[in-house]
């Protein structure tokens, strides 16, 4: 009963978006696949709508992939993110895919500010078109727009060497914020090898603009920030090529396993490098999903992710010359969620 209420609530989303309503009973004739925001095409259910939601978390106490920052200056202590999305068929092979996310991370530093908290929200909107190719194969293209924003965080303490600065009560020394936006295009394929096993993959190209801001009205603080090589005031551009490969395996009647591989290759333009620090331009990501079908169109899943270089490529707004050294470390988290 509870799940039916959730399905009814989520089913109102197309009405709010002004999308045409289509019957989805055809989705109940066979086991559906795990779409989420993955790079995949649905062979059997390209005309089916689904909605999904997930909660991802990392906590230093369980340290799932030995991913604590081994730097002497900073350390990630907690991270979490909420995501919700919809995959909505428009007919004639077209599908609208959209998700939103909200999250935060907490870190500690040896010097002030010793406690750093960052909030983040983002969105990814893409239009997909696909068509059958030969028997049990499908190809498609996607295009769209995505963005991330880190709302302003304010800090009342700063340390540079032996200089300690503290703001007056109720005041702040500096404000920090960041954002990114991207247009992208992708090619995707899907091949149904057997009734219970399929492979998919693709290549996505992103054209990204990133802007990070660290500002202060105090001349002394401004000079200290310059010494620390804070992010440049002007935006810079990035070109990303993302290679995707994966498979879905329905191991048992209700239990499935999905694995995705993703490789980021990054180029930056008009970007001011940080002296004595290297920049990171590639990252590898693995995703593992264990799924359970309560019904043919309802899937609950547990997901784990391993990334070779923190969130490099996934969230460009987090990367700048001030904190680029933190991206040398691997990262991982666990996700729980459902698709209806």
What are 140-190's pLDDT values in tens digits? Answer: 999 999 999 999 999 999 988 888 889 989 899 999 999 999 999 999 999
CATH number at residue 43: 2.40.160.40
Residue 282 falls inside a structural domain: yes
Flag whether 220 is in a domain: no
Contact 24, 309 (CB under 8 A): no
Task: Indicate if the pLDDT at residue 333 is higher than 70.
Answer: yes
pLDDT at 241: 99
224 located within any domain: no
Residue 300 covered by a domain: yes
Flag whether 262 is in a domain: yes
Structural domain of 106: 2-149+176-214+236-339
Q: Is the pLDDT of residue 19 over 60?
A: no
As a whole-number percent, the residues of the chain with pLDDT over 90 amount to 62
pLDDT band at 100 (very low <50, low <70, confident <90, very high): very high
Total number of domains in the chain: 1
- Does the residue 157 lie in any domain? no
In a domain, 133, yes or no: yes
Which element (helix H / strand E) includes 15?
helix 13-17
171 located within any domain: no
Closest CA to 118 of 325, 337, 311: 311
Task: Dig out the tokens for 179 from the structure.
Answer: 């954002």
Within a 10 A sphere around the Cβ of 295, how many other Cβ atoms?
12
């Amino acid at each position: 009963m509870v799940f039916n209420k959730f399905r009814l609530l989520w089913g109102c989303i197309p009405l709010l978006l002004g999308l045409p309503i289509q019957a989805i009973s055809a989705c109940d004739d066979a086991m559906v696949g795990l779409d989420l925001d993955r790079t995949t095409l649905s062979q059997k259910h390209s005309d089916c709508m689904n909605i999904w939601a997930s909660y991802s978390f990392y906590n230093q106490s369980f340290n799932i992939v030995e991913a604590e920052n081994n730097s002497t200056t900073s350390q990630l202590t907690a991270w979490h993110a909420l995501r919700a999305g919809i995959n909505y068929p428009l007919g004639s092979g077209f599908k609208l895919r959209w998700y939103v996310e909200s999250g935060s991370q907490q870190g500690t530093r040896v010097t002030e500010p010793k406690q750093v908290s960052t909030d983040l929200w983002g969105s990814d909107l893409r239009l997909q078109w696909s068509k059958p190719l030969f028997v049990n194969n499908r190809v498609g293209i996607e295009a769209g727009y995505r963005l991330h924003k880190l709302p302003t965080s304010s800090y009342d303490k700063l340390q540079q060497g032996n200089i300690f600065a503290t703001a007056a009560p109720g005041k702040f020394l500096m404000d920090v914020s960041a954002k990114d936006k991207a247009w992208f295009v992708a090619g995707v394929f899907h091949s149904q090898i057997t009734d219970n096993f399929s492979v998919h993959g693709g290549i996505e190209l992103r054209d990204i603009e990133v802007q990070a801001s660290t500002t202060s009205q105090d001349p002394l603080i401004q000079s200290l920030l310059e010494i620390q090589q804070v992010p440049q005031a002007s935006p810079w551009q990035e070109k990303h090529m993302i290679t995707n490969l994966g498979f879905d395996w329905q191991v048992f009647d209700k239990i499935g396993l999905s694995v995705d591989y993703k490789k980021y290759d990054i180029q930056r333009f008009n970007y001011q490098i940080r002296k004595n620090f290297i920049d990171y331009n590639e990252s590898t990501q693995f995703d593992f999903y264990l799924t359970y079908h309560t019904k043919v169109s309802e899937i609950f899943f547990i997901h784990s992710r391993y990334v070779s270089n923190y969130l490099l490529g996934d969230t460009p707004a987090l990367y700048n010359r001030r904190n680029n050294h933190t991206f040398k470390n691997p990262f991982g988290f666990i996700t729980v969620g459902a698709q209806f």
